[in-house]
Homo-oligomer: A and B are copies of this chain.
Amino acid sequence: MRSKPTLDAWRARVDAFLDTRLPAAAEPPAVLHAAMRYAVLGDGKRLRPLLVYAAAAALGEPPRQGSPGGPGDPATADALDHAAAAVELVHAYSLVHDDLPAMDDDALRRGRPTLHVAFDEATAILAGDALQAEAFAVLAAAPAAPATVLAALRELARAAGSRGMCGGQAIDMAMTGQAQSPEALAAMHRMKTGALIEAAVVTGGLLRGAEGKVLDKLRRIGTLLGLGFQIKDDLLDAEADSATLGKTAGKDEAQGKSTYVTLLGTDGARARLDVVAAELDAALAAFAAQRSGGVAVDGDGQALADLAVLAVRRGR
């Protein structure tokens, strides 16, 4: 994977930023702050933050418009840190709440006890709530043009809300134990998982001035990437064991959840994933070919392409 050093550097960058940004575990209320750090820091693929950086990188250097904002301007890289951290904070909070006993009731996440097991249920609810507030706080503090930051914030808030992630989780829970069509499953996942992945790509684009057709093409990449990611996730859940997966394996089927594997079988799900991967390749090519209107696409799209491969082809 050609962009691996770049991806590793971005991952280290957002990890360091999150570590600095989150209140210290000793700051009162210490239990709450320790829980927030537990939920966010440590192992994590950081797919969503990496997509923020990668989408921005694919657009090239920041536009030169007065000062600051020239190529390599640290303020602009800093703004990406804020957006990258914000999407990861929303993701992290959603995992904490999804794992709660009243929700998916899971005890294992990223190879460790889930937050309500390691701490308690009230702390898990509150830590999730506080992480969501922190997501918007950190994005609202991004050092970039206020109108741009607000556009990114509206994108993130929509993706996180009842027409996005929270709505998808509600539909998922209502679906459980009932037969579904692959179309209904895709619609649910587009909200539950896809919306935030899409928002990560779009946010990275917005912060580099993308608009119009360029933004549309980036959004299409995000949509497909989210869909492929989910199909792959279902395949991994069906195939892997808990130790390598880092979360409870085989749980979807045990809970009576529809997945691409339960609906289409393993071979059918693999075939569906191949179709999505091909569409994703086409979307990346269409984005790279885009030259008219809005911002020119003249950056390095390698990281974005590599992340697309990683999302749909990742191993256990």
Instruction: Decide if A130 touches B161 in the complex (CB within 8 Å).
Output: yes
Q: How far is the CA of A30 from the CA of B132 in the complex (A)?
A: 23
In the assembled complex, how far is the CB of residue A33 from the closest CB belonging to chain B, in whole angstroms?
A: 6
Cβ contacts under 8 Å, A122 to chain B:
102-103, 170, 173
* Bound CA span A32–B141, Å: 30
- Contact between A126 and B157, CB atoms less than 8 A apart: no
Q: Is the CB of A133 within 8 A of B157?
A: yes
Q: Distance (Å) between the CB of A306 and the closest chain B CB?
A: 30
Count of A interface residues, CB-CB < 8 Å: 50
Interface residues of A, dominant DSSP: helix
**In this assembly, does A246 line the interface, its C-beta being within 8 Å of a C-beta of chain B?**
no
- Contacts A149-B146, A166-B129 known; A140 to B161 CB distance under 8 Å? no
Identify which of A93, A129, A150 gathers the most chain B CB atoms within 10 Å of its CB: A129
- When distances are taken between beta carbons in the complex, the residues of chain B under 8 Å from A134 are 157, 161-162
List of B residues within 8 angstroms of A149 by Cβ: 146, 150
Residue of B nearest to A169 (CB): B126
A residues apposed to B, CB below 8 Å: 23, 28-29, 31-33, 36, 93-94, 97, 100, 102-103, 120-123, 125-126, 128-130, 132-134, 136-137, 140-141, 145-147, 149-150, 153-154, 157-158, 160-164, 166-167, 169-171, 173-174
